[in-house]
Amino acid sequence: MKRVLLTIAFDGTNYHGWQVQPNAVTVQQVLGEAIEELLGAPHNITGCSRTDAGVHAREFCCHLDCGDNIPEKAFLTGLNSILPDDVAVVSCREVSDDFHARYNAKGKQYAYGMYMGGKNPFDERYFLHLNSEPDINLMNFFAKTVIGTHDFCGFSSSGRTVENTVRTVSECFVEKTGNKIYFKVTADGFLYNMVRILTGTALAVGYGRCNCNIAENIFITKDRSLGGDTLPPHGLFLEKVIY
């Protein structure tokens, strides 16, 4: 047996996140079904993290154990011929037997996209539509205040399943390209809805609804109500998993 690391990309619109669930279609489910069809038997697949329903990924990593006689290139080609069009295997490579897609990950990078101007049916699928332009400088001021090691309890939803809510953000910034705005953040880990709440708070700061130093108060009080909205999932992309 050998352990292989799959890097996949997916459009999360039609999926209820990554992890298999009893009454909803997930990315892990359709990938598992494709692997079973290709190899003739079910295999356990371990992902680098969970993703919320409707969230997308340009680079999501998972590992599984399979027979030594399966070439990585043929495995990749075979899976992509079976998978639906909204899920693709980007790369496949052998890793050590003790590699773990989740526990070996040192961090992840997310990006949340927004667009301005008239309604665009092609952008609606992957970007949050803004009716007016927020102040990018204020958003970036807020973004800098969340860099570092903090208790992000107040930037997460009550549905989180972990007790330790301290995370280290190594990079956070907002950039504007044409009529698109991107909130980008890299951290050693993320809490439930953390990126969508951080982006919503940055947007509230950009519109003058929150003070640009609001993060300090939220870190101290852990009061979720002080921040901005939890933005809808369709603008969120997992960009990169760092090993």
State the average pLDDT over residues 89-97.
Answer: 95
Q: What's the pLDDT score for residue 71?
A: 84
Whether residue 52 lies in the annotated active site: yes
Looking at 39, 60, 95, the residue that finishes a domain is 95
The verdict on 51 and 151 lying in the same domain is no
Looking at 95, 125, 149, the residue that finishes a domain is 95
Q: At what angle do helices 194-206 and 214-221 cross, to 10 degrees?
A: 140
Gap between the Cα atoms of 141 and 173, Å rounded: 9
The verdict on 112 and 210 lying in the same domain is yes
The verdict on 83 and 115 lying in the same domain is no
Note the residue count of the chain. 243
- In a domain, residue 207? The reply is yes
- What range defines the domain where residue 57 resides? 2-95
- In a domain, residue 100? The reply is no
The verdict on 163 and 83 lying in the same domain is no
The verdict on 80 and 160 lying in the same domain is no
3-state secondary structure of 30: helix
Gap between the Cα atoms of 48 and 50, Å rounded: 7
Task: Catalytic residue, from 52, 86, 135, 151: name it.
Answer: 52
Question: Please, where are the H alpha helices in the chain?
Answer: 27-39, 72-82, 136-145, 194-206, 214-221
The pLDDT tens digits of the residues spanning 216-243 come to 999 999 999 999 999 999 999 999 999 9
**83 contacts 8 by C-beta, under 8 angstroms:** no
Q: What percent of the chain stands above pLDDT 90?
A: 91
Q: What's the pLDDT score for residue 122?
A: 92
State the average pLDDT over residues 28-53.
Answer: 95
Least confident window among 49-53, 206-210, 213-217, 237-241: 49-53
**Backbone φ, ψ for residue 20 (5° rounding):** -55, 135
> Pick from 35, 77, 27: which is nearest to 57 by CA?
27
pTM for this one?
0.93
- In a domain, residue 222? The reply is yes
Looking at 95, 121, 151, the residue that finishes a domain is 95
- In a domain, residue 194? The reply is yes
